[in-house]
Amino acid sequence: MINNELPGIEGLELWREWSKKDPDYEHCWEEGEDPCAARWYATWRNDGARYNMSHLIELADKVDPDRKRFKQVGLDKLIEDVEAIPLRYKEEVLDGEDLIQRYMDIDNDPKNENPALHNQAVHKLAIEAKRGNAAEIERLVDTHEMFNRTKGQKPLAIDELDDTPFEYLIPGLLPKPWTLLVHADGGTGKTAMCQTVAKHIGHGKAFNVYGALVNVPVGKVLWLNGDQNERILRRQMKLIGCDKNVRVVTEWDMQWYSRFKKMQNKYAYDLVVIDSLDGCNDSNPYEENRREYALPIKKLVRRNGQDFPACSIIIIHHNTKEGKFRGTTDY
């Protein structure tokens, strides 16, 4: 406790003076030894903050377990009073701004490009911040970004809303920003249809819209694959000639919104195809009939053209075995 109040040489000198006058410690000073300095620099000076009255009593009990010295000088009642006081402490928890900044540091660290390392770093932050798990931290940061993006959610007049004109990848058919969920029975050609669309955009090849050919400007395509084996996907793409201005990421997961945002901000793809909703949701913690399962899609829909450059997003989805729409109606 002296160390807490007087951590410098003054505190050490005061302790030395008291110790030399204590008959129980006189022998410790024989032969020029300095027991106070040894203890001061080895322990108390470095973590003296953890030594309160209870700790000092505990240390004294190791030397005098029967507490005879306390009784001799009349301190036994004081010790009883101290031990009767309930221990109170206040947990230190990161405040909101520090927590958000720490998350941003994790997210921007190149080594955390690996999703597993990113998740573990955020999980450790969640433990330190008493926030449960990584998902809670990401929801908190997501809320913070939403608040900033909507300018504090101030009510806006209609004329204050974004009026940026729509661009069309395929005139009259596929605008951007846009999100389209394509669902049908398995084996009916959903993937082949999207590969055909990707081919027309990648090559800038005219497309038949309602019986008329329309010119299609050349665009860049990102194919996020979670369904097909890599060799099968390559063969499919090559067979229909979908091999120009197309980039593929295999074993994608829709929980990696931050990674997607970085890729889209860097490369500004015009068309993004996710094949498929189920195949790219391996780490989604929710069952597909729960509304929370749709959260990754909602992010893409709401923030297309705001968090990242506008694009058309096509998500391939499979029906049930009975031919009915599969999953939550929040899609």
Choose the most confident range, by mean pLDDT, from 25-29, 32-36, 40-44, 197-201.
Answer: 197-201
Q: End of a domain among 133, 156, 179?
A: 156
User: In terms of domains, do 248 and 274 share one?
Assistant: yes
Domain containing 113: what range? 96-156
Using CA atoms, how far residue 11 sits from 17, 18, 158, 179, in Å, is 10, 11, 69, 70
Residues 135 and 253 in one domain: no
Q: Are residues 151 and 175 in the same domain?
A: no
Contacts of 137 (CB under 8 A, 6+ apart): 99, 103, 122, 125, 126, 129, 131
Rounded to a whole number of angstroms, the CA Rg of the chain reads: 33
pLDDT number for residue 51? 58
Mean pLDDT, rounded, of the chain: 88
Domain endpoint, select from 40, 57, 84: 84
Q: Output the pLDDT for position 20.
A: 80
On whether residue 295 sits in a domain, the answer given is yes
Are residues 104 and 142 both part of a single domain?
yes
Give the Cβ contact number of residue 152 at 10 Å.
Answer: 7
Residues paired with residue 304 on neighbouring β-strands, in sequence order:
308
Residue 322: its pLDDT value, please?
A: 84
What's the DSSP call for residue 86?
A: P
Mean pLDDT of 126-151: 92
208 and 297 part of one domain: yes
**pLDDT-wise least confident of 110-114, 148-152, 182-186, 326-330:** 326-330
Report yes or no on 292 lying in a domain.
yes
Task: Give the pLDDT mean for 111-135.
Answer: 93
The answer to whether residues 148 and 170 belong to one domain is no
**pLDDT above 70 for 259:** yes
| 191, 236 contact by CB (below 8 A) | yes
Is 174 in the same domain as 313?
yes
One domain for residues 111 and 194: no
**pLDDT band at residue 17 under the 50/70/90 scheme:** confident
- Angle subtended by helix axes 53-63 and 76-84, to nearest 10: 130
Q: Is the pLDDT of residue 244 over 50?
A: yes
Shared domain for 271 and 184, answered yes or no, is yes
List pLDDT tens digits, range 278-304: 999 999 888 988 988 999 999 999 999
* CATH number (domain holding residue 181): 3.40.50.300
Binned at pLDDT 50, 70 and 90, residue 330 comes out as low
Please give the pLDDT value at position 180.
96
Give the pLDDT score at 37.
Answer: 78
CB 183 within 8 A of CB 326: yes
192 and 242 assigned to the same domain: yes
Look at residue 161 and tell me if it is in a domain.
no
Task: Indicate the number of domains in the chain.
Answer: 3
Which region among 25-34, 142-151, 163-172, 214-223 has the lowest average model confidence (pLDDT)?
25-34
- Can you give the pLDDT at residue 216? 97
137 and 33, same structural domain? no
Provide CB contacts within 8 A for 291, sequence distance 6+: 328, 330
The answer to whether residue 218 is domain-embedded is yes
241 and 197 Cβ atoms separated by less than 8 Å: no
Average pLDDT of span 214-241: 96
Q: What is the pLDDT of residue 77?
A: 79
Q: Are residues 65 and 186 in the same domain?
A: no
Domain C-terminal end among 61, 84, 107: 84
